[in-house]
Amino acid sequence: MPSYVLNFNHPRKHRLKAGFLYGSTGADMVAAEWVESEVLKAVPEALVEVIDLHGSGDHFHVRIITESFEGMRPLQRQRMVLEVMKHHIPRPIHALDLKCMTPKQAETAGDTAFDPHGGGRGIHINRINRQKRE
């Protein structure tokens, strides 16, 4: 069985801390602060900014800025971070959009956040809307 199907790595207290619990369905939700602390395990020296894209605690855009990405290809940079984060995908984190930049790239990057459901498309948007209504 793939290792990420079962996931015991995220303590329940973080889910309870998340503060955006739409209903008490027990759905996996984590706080942006927890995502940040997990990313920092992979790149301790980095500047990490986490955006909870829908306030649903499972879709995150993460900007990671560090000099140590210099000279690394984009996939190499993400693999560094995913080494830790892959254990949290697909639960509790369903979508993780990583933007790995050097400080120089970050200066000119502007707003990097991309909302995968911005156009109202996607099979998950209904679930999220349902959770918000509850």
Is the Cα dihedral 85, 90, 92, 93 positive or negative? positive
Supply the minimum distance, in Å, between the C-beta of residue 123 and another protein. 5
Contact 56, 32 (CB under 8 A): no
Dihedrals phi, psi of 76, to nearest 5 degrees: -60, -45
Interactions with another protein, residue window 2-21 (CB under 8 A): 2, 4-5
Note whether 23 binds another protein by CB under 8 A.
Answer: no
**Which one among 51, 97, 102, 127 touches another protein, defined by CB under 8 A?**
97
Task: Based on the shown chain and the rule CB under 8 A, indicate whether residue 54 belongs to the binding site for another protein.
Answer: no
Taking the C-alpha atoms of residue 17 and residue 51, their distance in angstroms, rounded to an integer, is 16
Tell me: does residue 122 bind another protein (CB under 8 A).
yes
Between 23 and 115, CB nearer to another protein: 115
Tokens for 5, please give them.
């199907």
